[in-house]
Structure 1
Amino acid sequence: MTTIPKASVPPMHVLYATALLICLAFIFVVTTPARPSFKWLDLQHVGLQNGKLHLQGAASECYSSRLSGESTTAVELYISAILDRNDKSFERLTCPPTSPGRYDRLRRHPAAHSAQKERTKKHYFFALNLYQCAPILPRLLGSIIEAFRVLDPETCVLSVVGSRSDDSTTEILTRLRPHLKATVVTYYFGTSPINLLEPGHDRITELASLRNLTLGPLIHQPAHYVADNTIVVFLNDVAICPDDILELFYQYTLRCADLVCAMDWKDDGQVFYDSWVSRGKNGDLVVEMPQPGAWDFVRNTFWNDPASKAGLDAKLPIQVYACWNGATIFTAKPLLEHKDPLSTCGSHGYGCTAVIPSVNLADSDEQGRVVKEVQVYTVDSVNVNVVVDVDDSNIEESERD
């Protein structure tokens, strides 16, 4: 009887085969751990007793302990700075007073005969995802609160989703609640374990999930809003002034736009930050980035669109194909009526998108000072209206209405 000789397998091949089997098992057998379900912190059960904050079922014991003791003083300093524009506890970006009278049209005045239910509808929905950004909160949240006062706090909603911060961001956002309640602003705050940089997870998909959570109070409570009369503003953790926010609302309303964005900058204030998302009206990148993705020309914004370039230089609204840019405002109508992703809004007729070059932002107070010096403050850009003729790019000055 003939026997088949045993094949000799080199040890290295055995190692390769073993490694391959392990990889296949990881891909096809080991599933991604289920993420804990998201819940809004039960802010109705957050209260101060004897000067200390108590959470009832809203957070872990570890988290609750961080809200007392030595961290309390620091958190209260942040709260004071957020509520008082003249507070000097932090070196934040200096902002001018809002232009008197310019933004009066933004304050909603319901008709006297309107039913009480209609008179209490919310019109401005502020949405923020905040992570590890305590230093920017005095400027960011302080400006939002000042904008509330102009818009009418009763018509405003602030929805914030935090994520895994350990720099007091979560504590600050929690302690802010009673102060916002005193101004009759509706406030939602929750935390999520979503990690944008978690291995095996797509960053953009996770970011979209966080933003969808932030929109939850709007989407799941449509009875509190009027589809035709509700505006969403998404703000990144940026250094922004009150009139930056109000000017975006103003231009959105004035131009009957569907979506408007600020401009955000970095480095010396002349490098456009959101170069990956923004597209000009011709569909091209806003910054010149030739193959293979060279950054040599990133200062060249609207590089192949002379009319848009002229509008940028003149600080005039510019029609674009897409933008986000640190601050974006859009109509809530497609969210409340169609329940479709914002990426499909074009198919429903929402195509009027613009950037507002008079509003210029940065991702820190220090960088904000540089940007405001180079790109100037909003109030310095809105006194003169420069009109761009799209056909021949001629520029002429006229008084702003």
Structure 2
Amino acid sequence: MTRDTEVLVTGVGLVTAAGPDTDSTWNAVREGRACARPDPELHGLPVTLSCRVADVDALRPRQPGASHLDPAARMGLAAVAQALDEAKLDPADWDPTRVAVVTGCSLGGMRAQEAAAARFRADGPTSVSPYFLTGYMPNMVCAAVSLHLGVTGPTLNVATACASGATALGTARDLLTTGQCDIAVVCGAEAPVSPLIATGFSQVRALSDRVSRPFDTARDGFVIAEGAGALVLERPAHAAARSAPRLARFIGYGASSDAHHLVAPHPEGRHAERALRAALAEAGLSPGDIGHVNAHGTSTPVGDAMEAAVLARVLPHRPPVTSAKGTLGHTLGAAGAIEAALTVLALRTDLVPPTAGLTVQDPALDIDAVAGSARSESSTAAVSNSFGFGGHNAVVVLARD
């Protein structure tokens, strides 16, 4: 017996280096405005650029223990609040046993970890805060959201590196379509901008200290970033019963693993291709039905080349391709959720945003990457790709309602 795999997106929320809300983030992405800035905390390192969220303390929710939350959890809660507001959902009115929370967070609270490590080295174990673990553990974004909302349905965090946000969406979709919940609050959140994490990515030559240039001939890595994206997903019958906003339909999901290398993608992208084809098949679409692609587009030489080759093979009609990482940097585990939310906005506004930093497209990449300014494009369906260290591939297909 087959099951209906379609669910509705009824709310989105964003917190990024471009601003603390959906409108400010969408405006920056639509305008192709890069948010990377020199970061004083990275001074003296090989890479000194980042995309930080301004005034994270202002995002602190008013609840017991909130002052001890890591910035990742604070950003996640702020994005979720926006998404619930747009979805016209009040936790006081729902059955908490029929709500799920699924988060994508790959690193956990790195600021909490580094602060605790510094205290331990300087003053010994008694100086470490008892709130260290609850700030650091990767599941604590999920725990903070579910506690804040009073959710008692399924709650879990997924960690598939830079694919985490997209994997969270696929996991939440499955909880909905198998009848385990009526509403799923999905959030990708990450606050990885720290000297240690920046150094780690620099050591594997993944970062740029100039600018993020997805698909450009001069691309040399991404800019590390923080942020959060939230989407509210609902079973169609539940959304209809309460006359919920219908922002988009989530109609297809595909996932695969490369089993190739700890940090490098498979050079031919065969398993990323398999994930894309699986998502299209589940959506019941042919390649020609895809109107645009929100690419993973990290601005690394190997990663962009792999993704472009996959898109050229699967989507030979060359739909417009964009990457938000030129504007927002790479938010790692949050990227898949942030970019899915941006894909929803692109579908609703008939616009494909430009890829900030893209000046001269690499002629070896056979794709139609949007550069300079946003392109008017009335798409009925779009793809959002996410690929992560360890060979994790996740593809989401969204359609306008």
TM over 0.5: no
**TM-score, scaled relative to structure 1:** 0.25
Larger Rg, first or second structure (1 or 2)? 1
Q: Normalization by structure 2: what TM-score?
A: 0.25
Higher relative contact order (CA 8 A, sep 6+): 2
